[in-house]
Amino acid sequence: MKEKALILTGILIGALSSVFGLVPIDIATHSSLPEITNSAFKPGEKLTYKVHYGIIDAGEAVLEIKDSPYTFENRNAYYAVGTGKSLGAFDMFFKVRDKYETYIDKKGMFPWYFKRRVDEGGYKISQDYTFDQGAGEVFTQKEETHEVPMGVQDMVSAFYFARTFDFSDVQKGDVFEIPTFVDDELFNLRIKFQGRETIKIRNGKFKAMKFVPVVQEGRIWKDENDLNVWISDDDNKIPLLAKTKILFGSIKMELTEYSGLAHKISKVR
């Protein structure tokens, strides 16, 4: 239960490797840097999520995106930062303090630099990845170099990159893949579209698109129905709700606050 609760706290700030199925991939042939049109978000957007176990607020995750004060190879970038922390009684016996930062190319929607600092009950992770997208390489804090495909994502940039997908003609069963560098390994993050429906969360009712992970043997979720994620059915395409099963009941994470959206959200009432 504890492991799934922590993963839900970080679903949008660095646990995409658990939300999506992970599949090792081959390296693609490199060419010119990709360019992708983004209209889903803009600098100033802030999303706040609460993680619940039953009626208890167990954790909070916050995602913000801003203009980067730095350029990379004379290209402008976004600066995205995500934080996760435990709340209330959970904070007393298992303190979580996580922070993720990434610099995302504005034209290509790929990362240049990723920083991860995790402290979960005394278990700590410190990662620094520098991406050379043109050369197809990533340099880690271990002073190791890994070959990656051009346009590869990190844990946080993958969240924003996925929001550039066009879901207007999506059909049930369609699968979306994102090459991502996670924990010093290269994987494909994969999600499957399950349909459209209206959901109710703390903030009201919203039109949503439902997705499940394409699961792989040996991962936390053995069945795709063990985790469900609902994305706003609008041009923002922000996660509204995520649920995962545990032995007694379920844990869920829902959007509680939002500001600076690029478009009107799909709220029914």
Are 9 and 244 in contact, with CB atoms under 8 Å apart? no
40 vs 161: CA distance, rounded Å: 10
How high is the pLDDT of residue 107? 95
The whole-number average pLDDT for the span 34-58 is 90
Q: Would you call 248 helix, strand, or coil by DSSP?
A: coil
Bigger pLDDT: 80 vs 2: 80
Q: Are 232 and 208 in contact (CB under 8 A)?
A: yes
Give the C-alpha separation, 224 to 163, whole Å. Answer: 21
Please report how many Cα atoms fall inside a 13 Å half-sphere around the Cα of residue 51, on the Cβ side: 28
Of 202, 172, 239, which is closest to residue 20 (Cα–Cα)? 239
Q: Which of 56-60, 96-100, 197-201 has the highest mean pLDDT?
A: 197-201
- What residue type is 207 in one-letter code? K
Q: Which helix (H) or strand (E) holds 268?
A: none
Least confident segment among 135-139, 189-193, 207-211 = 189-193
C-alpha 90/C-alpha 87 separation (Å) is: 6
pTM of the model: 0.86
Distance separating alpha carbons of residues 141 and 147, to the nearest angstrom: 15
Phi and psi of 7, rounded to 5°?
-65, -40
Phi, psi of 5 (to 5 degrees): -65, -45
Question: Residue ranges of the alpha helices (H) in 57-149?
Answer: 88-93
Instruction: Judge residue 269's burial from the number of C-beta atoms within 10 Å of its C-beta, 0-12 exposed, 13-18 middle, 19 or more buried.
Output: exposed
List pLDDT tens digits, range 216-264. Answer: 544 444 555 678 899 999 999 999 998 877 666 678 889 999 999 999 9
**Res. 31 pLDDT band, cuts 50 70 90:** low
Report the b/e string of 235-244 with b at 16+ CB within 10 A.
bbbbbbbbbb
Q: What is the pLDDT of residue 156?
A: 92
pLDDT of res. 69? 95
Measured distance between the N- and C-terminal CA atoms of the chain, rounded to whole angstroms: 33
Please tell me the distance from the alpha carbon of residue 23 to that of residue 141, in angstroms, as a whole number: 24
Contact 157, 102 (CB under 8 A): yes
β-bridge mates for residue 52, sequence order: 57, 252
Cβ distance 233 to 196 under 8 Å? yes
Furthest CA-CA distance within the chain: 53
Q: Is the pLDDT of residue 206 over 50?
A: yes
Among 164-173, 191-200, 209-218, 246-255, the minimum mean pLDDT is found in 209-218
pLDDT tens, residue by residue, 6-15: 444 444 444 3
- The residue whose two tokens read 């240049």 is 112
